[in-house]
Amino acid sequence: MVNKSPLFQRRTAGVLLHPTSLPCTESYRCDDTKKVFGTLGKDAYAFVDFMADAGFSIWQMLPTGPTQADMSPYQSISAHAGNPDLISLDWLVENNWINGGQVSPHNYQTVQELRIAAAVQFYEQCSSESGAALNQAFLNFCAEQNYWLDDFSLFSALRTSTKNASWVDWPEAIRTRDPIALSEVRQQLKKEIDQILFEQFSFFSQWHALKKYANEKGIYLFGDMPIFVGHDSADVWAQQHYFNLDNKGHPLTVAGVPPDYFSETGQHWGNPHYNWEKMREDGFQWWLARLKTQLYLFDLIRIDHFRGFEAFWEIPADGEDARSGRWVKAPGEEFLQACFNAYPELPLVAENLGVITDEVETLRRQFNLPGMLVLQFGFDGNTNNPHLPHNHSRDEVIYTGTHDNDTTLGWYETLADQNRQQLKQYFFNSSEPMPWLVVEAALASVGSMAIIPMQDLLELDGGHRMNMPGTTDKNWVWTFLWDQVDPTLAGRVRQLLTIYHRLG
């Protein structure tokens, strides 16, 4: 069975950088907001140019859905929608969707207020004679994406009107999706729903303009699909029968992992588990719809926590931490077969990090899915460690570290002297400074694809990591500045990619 993406038929290299970590040099933004994140505007295009100049072929990112207060992309309120915080208002002005002269950032406190003002401008443009083509494109988008957009827009409007109350606390008729109640509330919240529709049309339009530009430059987008979805999400509210919930909508069991490298008490994610029996009854249609959206956005898709398709860690909903959980078998083979029957060339990569059993690897190899190896995990004194370069195989994606790891420089600075010495000896006592020693090792690997976090290319220490699993403070907020990018960096990387035959 050959299911690997064509991107694995040659040696490639890429950068791991979430779009929120891009600089933001836009004109239409509010500087007094809590944090100014990157967008799908000019800085994203400049980053594509940097990658192309350096010879990279792959831009890997984290999930791009709308986030909750903790900003974690792995707890999105939708498995389909785009994060409105990534919308570039400059792009809207440049493409004549809105009149920039009537939307001044100096008149608004938050980016959300700016987007509300932009929506008013957008709908005025759509209703004008000159906006007929734009209006038709908007109507086409709403019709094409209706399989998720209708529920999401109503869910988001309800969240706003209830001051972000969880859907389990909504009035019973709304919580249980009584058709009459939903029809009434749609009319009541029409203005708010229209706002959501505008934002999603803006996101998807900007995304595809950027994707087209990247693809034309030889850059392919590598997405990340969490295996689970957030409980307080449009997906769970809209299709409750697919999840393991009680009769009031509360999870009976939740997801996580047992104690591991990242946490002594395991990780308690809190996502509700799937009702796999219900999903099996209709041929996993919920998942096939989810994949449809991901394929609309990305050229390659990482399945986060792939091992959960073979067996998942089931934690009682009232468990204090993950140690009270147990492994439960999942219908992985049947599920994946349904996915590949629907999408024969499904371009998947399996995230197979952590406690991985022979059964998980058998399932991955049965469907010929590339896995992941992380060099930071390799230097524990065990010569059979699969993350060590001499144990790599061609069908792997090689990382210096992932978004959950420290930066490579930060990791090295915290290593014990014994481990530092082992690392130096392994690489022939090379005098190459960190993190470039490990970056070059990833590029030299036999693995078909090598991915380098942007922090490692910028030689940044542990103060610049993206996430620290098991904690909730200061995660997901890292951004870089163009001043941090040495003018010689692209040329240096291009030379390395030439040496290791990974030039895009």
DSSP annotation string for 66-102: PP-TT--TTS-S-SS---GGG--HHHHHHTTSS-GGG
In 317-427, DSSP assigns E strands to: 326-329, 348-350, 371-374, 396-399
Q: How confident is the model at residue 118 (pLDDT cuts 50, 70, 90)?
A: very high
Averaged over 172-183, what is the pLDDT?
98
- Please tell me which residue in 43, 232, 310, 351 is annotated as part of the active site: 351
Percent over 90 (pLDDT), the chain? 86
Percent over 70 (pLDDT), the chain? 98
Q: Is the pLDDT of residue 32 over 60?
A: no
Tokens of residue 49, six digits:
């140019």
Whether 436 maps to a domain, the answer reads yes
Q: Is the pLDDT of residue 444 over 50?
A: yes
Averaged over 313-338, what is the pLDDT?
94
Question: Contact at 8 Å (CB) between 335 and 369?
Answer: no
Whether 504 maps to a domain, the answer reads no
Averaged over 404-430, what is the pLDDT?
95
Task: Quote the CA–CA distance of 83 and 88 in Å, as a whole number.
Answer: 11
Confidence at residue 3, expressed as pLDDT on a 0 to 100 scale: 60
Tens digits of residue pLDDT in 60-98: 999 999 998 889 999 899 999 999 999 999 999 999 999
Averaged over 466-489, what is the pLDDT?
92
Confidence at residue 301, expressed as pLDDT on a 0 to 100 scale: 98
- Alpha helices, DSSP H only, in 323-390? 332-342, 358-366
Q: Is the pLDDT of residue 354 over 50?
A: yes
- Please tell me which residue in 194, 304, 321, 333 is annotated as part of the active site: 304
Task: Quote the CA–CA distance of 411 and 298 in Å, as a whole number.
Answer: 30
Q: Please state the pTM of the whole predicted model.
A: 0.96
Task: Quote the CA–CA distance of 432 and 339 in Å, as a whole number.
Answer: 45
Q: Is 194 a catalytic residue?
A: no
220 in helix, strand or coil?
Answer: strand
Averaged over 347-365, what is the pLDDT?
95
Q: What is the 3-state secondary structure (H, E, C) of 55-76?
A: CCCEEECCCCCCCCCCCCCCCC
- CATH number for position 142: 3.20.20.80
Strands 311-316 and 326-329: antiparallel
Confidence at residue 31, expressed as pLDDT on a 0 to 100 scale: 58
Question: Contact at 8 Å (CB) between 241 and 278?
Answer: yes
Return the residue matching tokens 């090598």.
450
Confidence at residue 209, expressed as pLDDT on a 0 to 100 scale: 98
Confidence at residue 35, expressed as pLDDT on a 0 to 100 scale: 57
Tens digits of residue pLDDT in 186-204: 999 999 999 999 999 999 9
500 in helix, strand or coil?
Answer: coil
For 117-138, letters b (16+ CB in 10 Å) and e give bbbbbbbebbeeeebeebeeeb
Confidence at residue 395, expressed as pLDDT on a 0 to 100 scale: 92
Question: Contact at 8 Å (CB) between 207 and 244?
Answer: no
The H or E element that residue 234 is part of is helix 234-238
CA distances from 457 to 409, 464, 486, 503 (A): 10, 12, 10, 16
Peptide bond into 258 cis (omega under 30): no
Q: Is the pLDDT of residue 105 over 80?
A: no
Task: Quote the CA–CA distance of 205 and 217 in Å, as a whole number.
Answer: 19
The total domain count for the chain is: 1
Task: Quote the CA–CA distance of 244 and 256 in Å, as a whole number.
Answer: 15
Average pLDDT of the residues of the chain: 94
Confidence at residue 235, expressed as pLDDT on a 0 to 100 scale: 98
358 in helix, strand or coil?
Answer: helix
Whether 1 maps to a domain, the answer reads no
Task: Quote the CA–CA distance of 325 and 267 in Å, as a whole number.
Answer: 10
- Please tell me which residue in 53, 150, 361, 404 is annotated as part of the active site: 404
Return the residue matching tokens 């995660």.
475
Can you say whether the dihedral through the CA atoms of 43, 48, 53, 54 is positive or negative? Answer: positive
Q: Is the pLDDT of residue 221 over 90?
A: yes
Domain housing 229: 6-499
Q: How confident is the model at residue 435 (pLDDT cuts 50, 70, 90)?
A: very high
Secondary structure letter of residue 54 according to DSSP = H
